[in-house]
Structure 1
């Protein structure tokens, strides 16, 4: 039967609602024939309401309308309490009536049972040039390779070979300014290497930020700091520390590239791996001493207490101060999901954490964008249990997948 009401039904519904509110029970009962044609609301609204009305005026068989509704699947007894219990609660089988109604509650058509959630972290701040400067910087950089790690290593080696280190600072400007000055013969410090490397990586859609490393007694003396960069590497599913001055990254005993928190936690110095043409780190232990204290673009961490002054009296400003480095390191392969509709059917919308995500994948297949409902996929409604491997997609390919589970009745 069609659930589209006839044109007169809205007026009947309004009259019935007014009669219910005004306790005009005979008026409501006079509308019963018309209300029975309201297939959308008869079972769940009008039948129990008419049962109450019939009891109020003393009609025999008043409960028959409620029994009819329960037989059809009505279960929302609580919406009509205490009136229903006041009317029929003394019936000998009332307890059984309530049990039949409760048994009518159907299983939900869909239930999402497991979904990914991003881990807690402070807001991510990357080191990027102004948007209008990115198109000018891009042609000056090496071409990206198919993989994020290969692209990062290529840019790392390229950056290290741009000039010979000198303790000179540009003091202002972005990577484009540094490159223009270097083309004119300028030489700069570790700070400028970190600027070029971090901003260049972001232009190539590898999330990166600058890192300031400090020795244990950095509040006094000289040579107490070193500037490097770090990048989220899609195909490694992790952050990696990159030294633009030396053209190097650090690796563990198995050759796996390391993040800054991993380097801070080590008891023995890690091995530097050089990809650039500049002089090798002759004393890894000396450079490892710089891992004792650190901050990155937008955030600093210090479990024992933060010293906000550097060796020359410079204030070490930071946008956010935390105690645990984990708050500074979101896993950029994480993604959240939202729930939306596609063509009238329930769907999930992938919401990647990665700042350069261009889409998502569903069991390895790319999800098409649907206007505002970007990266959305309808849920399979075939009865049973279902699961899908979902992932964010970047210019370098899909990231590590997460599992989504749901059941359909």
Structure 2
């Protein structure tokens, strides 16, 4: 659950690394080598011993709360931060951590109150304003979200996450041109930042229908992260589209070139993320279009169904292959599954009807 929440808030990394500057404790007294070798359980045990000797040291409770979070002991983490706040009710960073913990538990009302209290107590941490903006964004309180993001950006102009968040909000509101401006601003801060590169690719490909600009942004993404799963998937999709445009002309050298480039890109994608369902399916389509690697196409479609048994298109493609090979009963089974998962598809319905007629 922890990782899902971190994704929802755009993978903010500030909380797990920050220390309370107001804390009187010096709990990180171990050598760097000892800290590297220690496990979370070791840290928790050591902190518990220190707390038993210094029960009024709120910093120790805060530190242990963070380690409890690392091992998903949320109830204990929240108990410790509440204890720390009881000992030091004016600690703005304590309230910031409390906000995060309650947000991780999907208690957004308590999280909001904690973030607001952190700001009232004088927090100048841009992440506190950003997280409050995130809460407002997910509740579609866009004006409040905008205020939070903008304040975060004022406090730290070096973090590209803040202009990206403003761009993502504009895109959600249907202001694509404004979104592009904010994404470009994020890239001026960090030209390798993947999130705006991905969004710019999608906007130019699907909204502006400018494939060249879209692929330029994708190329920029792959220059900084050559094995990026989504970047290679998008590259493979480009070459697959180009190959489809040349269907019926297998003698055209560009047809084979685009097929090979697509296979290479999708292979990098599945190697980088073995659970990337659409990359497995798309590589199977490339093998199918090439007509010379059908066994590999079958393998990729089967892997697609292993990851997602309800993938209607994979069922349909396997049905097509078995029908072509004369195994009509197996073909009908796959076609029927395709219809079951997408009953509105006329192509799937037609396939079932035609193969059923042949079996009579």
Band of TM-score, shorter chain: under 0.3
Q: Pick 1 or 2: higher relative contact order, CA cutoff 8 A, min separation 6.
A: 1
TM-score, with length taken from structure 2: 0.22
TM-score, with length taken from structure 1: 0.20
Looking at secondary structure, tell me which structure has more strand per residue.
1
Instruction: State the structure with more CA Rg.
Output: 1
